[in-house]
Structure 1
């Protein structure tokens, strides 16, 4: 037995310690039947290819569009061209 201490070699970075790249979550988006809402929900797929810091812009855009769609439901109906306007 010797009193020598083996030289410490720095640990190599482990594969699991590195941040993962952008990867799709594989979440299925079920169509609602409302074309505008469905388009907004499909926009969420844009976040699949971005890193986490890029998700905010997509989420805010989709949230704004969904809020506008809900607000439009509360708007009074606009009379059509053949409705009586008296």
Structure 2
């Protein structure tokens, strides 16, 4: 006679088998329209890397893309543009 008492539900777990594997990430396959700016287009294409990662890896890709797009916008502000036209309200000496 065995002194061990089966735990409640242990027979059900044994019959159910092993836990199923989590599903592999499914690509979103979102189409991208080129912007005409090579740097911006490269950053947007980087978003496709998230398709091959588990959900917890998406944050790194999104942050990298966001940082790159922010840098591209900052660079636009830093580029010298044409001189501003003179204001009609400036005093002429």
The bucket for the TM-score relative to the shorter chain is 0.5 to 0.7
How many residue pairs get matched? 71
Which of structures 1 and 2 has the bigger CA Rg?
Answer: 2
Residue 56 of structure 1 is matched in structure 2 by 59
Structure 1 unmatched ranges of 5 or more: 1-7, 79-86
Superposed CA RMSD in Å reads 2.5
TM-score (norm: length of structure 2): 0.63
The 4+ residue runs of structure 1 with deviation greater than 2 A are: 8-13, 17-20
Residue 12 of structure 1 is matched in structure 2 by 16
Matches within 5 A, 1:17-32: 19-32=22-35
TM-score (norm: length of structure 1): 0.68
Tell me the CA shift for residue 29 of structure 1: 1.1
Structure 2 unmatched ranges of 5 or more: 1-10, 82-93
